[in-house]
Amino acid sequence: MTFTFGKNFRIHVFGESHGEGIGVVVEGVPPGLPIDEKMIQQELDKRRPGSSQLVSSRSEKDQVSIRSGVFNGKSTGAPVTLTIPNMDVDSTHYEKIRHTPRPGHADYTARIKFNQYNDYRGGGTFSGRMTAAFVMAGALALEILREQGVNVLAHVVQLGKVKADQEVSSYEISKNVYQNLVRCADVDSIEKMKKEIAQAKADGDSVGGIIECRVIGVPVGLGEPLFDSVESTISHAIFSIPGVKGIEFGSGFRGSSRRGSENNDSLIVVDGSVGWSKNDAGGILGGISNGEPIVFRVAVKPTPSISAPQHTVDLNEMKEVSIVTRGRHDPSIAPRAVPVIEALAAVVMVDLLMRKKSTMHDIRNHN
């Protein structure tokens, strides 16, 4: 298991869905950064299920505590530790299904990998609840980026079969996303998406979705190719979110059916500086940021836990059986993944910013 991510800005995650709680240790926070519970809580609240028919009925306040690394309201340079408790835990159902792995879940693979010692309650350490730790760490990263003029904006562009009707501006994303439960920036598509979820839930089923994320204000030169390109590091982080099965940058899969003359972005002069005619590169050339917004799209699978009966194997008896997953689950995890994707994108960008700082030529001239 590897619960650590990052090179110069590093996060170490711990906790379980039905254990005492969830936490994260963040190394590399620059000293003097203003940190309080409120700024972290604000991000955590974006991820909370809220209370509606569209989300899980598990009710967690996710109240954050700062455990280390902050003194007089500012980071000290030492590791910052953040935790939330688990309050509303009900493990009864999981004892029953312990030996009948839920299709689409980590139940079977975790059981084999950990020789049956894994904590199976609520998915244990494979639970989507772990992403609260990403959001806590992301709150610090977002604050660091804000000081650098960098902003991260994600939004749902497809929910099940419903695609957002129109392109949205970054302003619309920042204005609309957290005003509706499906995290959609296109106001005309919100109701259709809500219905898609509600219908799935009514059918005892679930739906997947696609989320777009934009990182705005990125300076030219971030990314450490060959191996730690912007695409490599972002995808590495994003695939740690349970349920993510695809990612594309800029024109992505669409670009594969194009010709070069169509897909290439031209360099232009804008106010005496270099600009770009369009952004099919997703803000990245040769694995390095080119000054345009970094744009990527994330494919989230439908929640595997559904109340309709499914087929699996009873591992004790080694025979096929039918199961019904009770627990408390979101009929789509795509909306709740939006702040998680923002958080991890921020963590990656801070790490790349720091790595650029440490490896750039200016170290030679301006010690």
For helices 131-147 and 334-359, give the axis angle rounded to 10 degrees: 50
Map the footprint of a copy of itself across residues 167-196, applying CB under 8 A. Answer: none
State in angstroms the smallest separation of the CB of 42 from a copy of itself. Answer: 20
- With CB under 8 A as the contact rule, the residue among 49, 128, 138, 160 that binds a copy of itself is 160
Q: Is the dihedral of CA 320, 326, 327, 328 positive or negative?
A: positive
Asked if 92 interacts with a copy of itself (CB under 8 A), we say no
- In three-state secondary structure terms, 282 is coil
Q: How far is the CB of 63 from a copy of itself (least distance, A)?
A: 16
Instruction: List binders of a copy of itself among 258-317 (CB under 8 A).
Output: 258-269, 272, 274, 277, 281-282, 285-290, 299-306, 308, 310-313, 315
- Tell me which stretch binds a copy of itself (CB under 8 A): 15-23, 46-54, 170-178, 184-192: 15-23
Distance in angstroms (rounded) separating the CA atoms of residues 76 and 73: 9
- By CB under 8 A, name the one of 41, 56, 158, 279 that touches a copy of itself: 158
110 lies in the site for a copy of itself, by CB under 8 A: yes
User: Is residue 81 close enough to count as binding a copy of itself by CB under 8 A?
Assistant: yes
Pull the structure tokens for residue 149: 């003029």
Residues in Cβ contact with 238 at an 8 Å cutoff, skipping those fewer than 6 apart: 244, 247, 296, 298, 341, 344, 345
Regarding 327 and contact with a copy of itself (CB under 8 A), the answer is no
Q: Is 37 in the site for a copy of itself (CB under 8 A)?
A: no
Q: What is the dihedral of CA 248, 253, 256, 260, to 10 degrees?
A: -50
- Minimal distance, residue 184 CB to a copy of itself, in Å: 14
Q: How many Cβ atoms are within 10 Å of 295's Cβ, its own excluded?
A: 21
Binding to a copy of itself (CB under 8 A): which residues in 120-139? 121, 124-126, 130
Widest CA span of the chain, in angstroms?
73
Tell me, what amino acid is at 91? Answer: S
